């Protein structure tokens, strides 16, 4: 009973943290993204000075909080890791706020509107999956990907539309145009940043679980929170951020399962492995650590002559979750467009 309550307390803390971060990113976007403009500073100029000042103040607040806690002797490992997480969130938010949404995108836009933007826009405007094909009869350009990311972006555009209208009514600004594809799709940057925030959250939780000295846990947390690729992905509008987020969660629950081989942890592995594949088929690779841990546990149970039938039950549960979530679209694309598996 104590473990049950402890687990639910941790889950509640995780949910509160994740929801709070989402609201922070959402509100920051609607307030500061429209304020991106070139401002004259002395003899030169700089883009996005107001968002930059906002980020500087956030970093300063984190640093001052850490310093005060250190002086009072209350800066333990858990609080330090959480402050590092907040620093990572702010760095990713900074990149999103000061980088135009169409910068450094390689597969989001296309001349025939068949990139990730076109994918989301098709679902947003029609409520259906795209059917546009290439010269071979396969789904065109980025439409071959599973639609999880496009579903999320299309749904989010509907959610953001009234907030865009509200901002325009209050500010008198025409920055947001609810009839324009580019203006609506730009809000998906919120999702990408949020996905990367969640990624580093679970990445730091993974670092905390490592059986190493505390200073190496801190180094690991800093590496994850400030890793340049994860910061750039916060402004990436393709399906990579969503897939990576689910992969981090799978790794975390794989470690949890290694510590406590409960059905709950197995179910989480199954759900988020399926979702990683639903975002991008290559997300299936993240199942390898779980498979290795699973096989090793069975072998150890056989060597120790322990019961291991429950492993097969958990394996069946994981498979029943992963296969339909992760592969249904590829079966659909094979049947309707004769698209090869793994295309």
pLDDT tens, N- to C-terminus, the chain (343 residues): 445 546 678 889 999 999 999 999 999 999 998 887 544 444 444 567 888 899 999 999 999 999 999 999 999 999 999 999 999 999 999 999 988 888 888 888 887 888 888 999 999 999 998 888 777 777 778 888 999 999 999 999 999 999 999 988 888 777 888 888 888 999 999 999 999 999 999 999 999 999 999 999 999 999 999 999 999 999 999 999 999 999 999 999 999 999 988 999 999 999 999 999 999 999 999 999 999 998 988 888 888 877 778 888 999 999 999 999 999 999 998 888 888 877 6
Could you give the 3-state DSSP secondary structure of residue 45?
strand
Q: Tokens 């920055």, residue?
A: 175
Question: Tokens at residue 318, please?
Answer: 């994981």
**8 Å CB contact between 93 and 28:** yes
Helices H / strands E in the chain, number of each: 13, 2
Determine the pLDDT at residue 39.
47
Longest dimension (CA), the chain: 77
Tell me if 203 sits within 8 A of 39, measured CB to CB. no
Q: Environment class of residue 114 by beta-carbon count within 10 Å: exposed (0-12), middle (13-18) or buried (19+)?
A: buried
138 and 339 Cβ atoms separated by less than 8 Å: yes
Helix, strand, or coil (residue 48): coil
Tokens of 307: 């019961």
The count of other CB atoms within 10 Å of the CB of residue 179 is 7
Which residues touch 308 (CB under 8 Å, ≥6 apart)? 297, 298, 301, 302
């Amino acid at each position: 009973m104590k473990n049950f309550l402890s687990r639910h307390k941790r889950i509640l803390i995780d949910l509160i943290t994740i929801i709070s971060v989402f609201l922070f990113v959402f509100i920051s976007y609607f307030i500061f993204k429209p304020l991106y403009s070139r401002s004259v500073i002395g003899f030169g100029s700089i883009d996005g000075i107001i968002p930059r000042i906002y980020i500087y103040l956030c970093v300063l607040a984190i640093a001052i909080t850490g310093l005060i806690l250190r002086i009072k002797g209350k800066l333990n490992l858990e609080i330090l890791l959480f402050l590092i997480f907040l620093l990572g969130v702010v760095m990713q938010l900074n990149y999103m706020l000061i980088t135009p949404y169409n910068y450094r995108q390689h597969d989001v836009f296309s001349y025939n509107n068949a990139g990730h933007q076109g994918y989301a826009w098709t679902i947003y405007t029609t409520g259906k999956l795209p059917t546009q094909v290439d010269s071979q009869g396969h789904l065109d350009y980025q439409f071959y990907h599973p639609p999880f990311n496009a579903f999320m972006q299309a749904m989010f555009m509907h959610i953001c539309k009234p907030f865009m209208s509200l901002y325009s009514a209050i500010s008198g600004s025409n920055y947001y145009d609810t009839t324009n594809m580019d203006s609506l799709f730009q809000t998906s940057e919120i999702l990408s940043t949020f996905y990367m925030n969640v990624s580093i959250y679970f990445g730091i939780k993974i670092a905390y679980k490592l059986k190493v000295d505390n200073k190496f846990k801190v180094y690991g947390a800093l590496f994850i929170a400030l890793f340049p690729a994860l910061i750039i992905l916060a402004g990436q509008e393709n399906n990579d951020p969503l897939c990576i987020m689910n992969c981090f969660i799978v790794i975390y629950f794989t470690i949890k399962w290694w510590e406590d081989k409960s059905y709950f942890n197995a179910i989480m592995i199954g759900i988020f492995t399926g979702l990683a594949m639903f975002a991008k088929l290559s997300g299936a690779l993240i199942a390898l650590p779980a498979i290795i841990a699973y096989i090793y546990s069975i072998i150890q149970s056989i060597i120790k002559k322990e019961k291991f039938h429950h492993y097969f039950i958990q394996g069946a549960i994981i498979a029943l979750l992963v296969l339909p979530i992760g592969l249904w679209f590829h079966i659909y694309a094979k049947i309707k467009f004769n698209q090869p598996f793994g295309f």
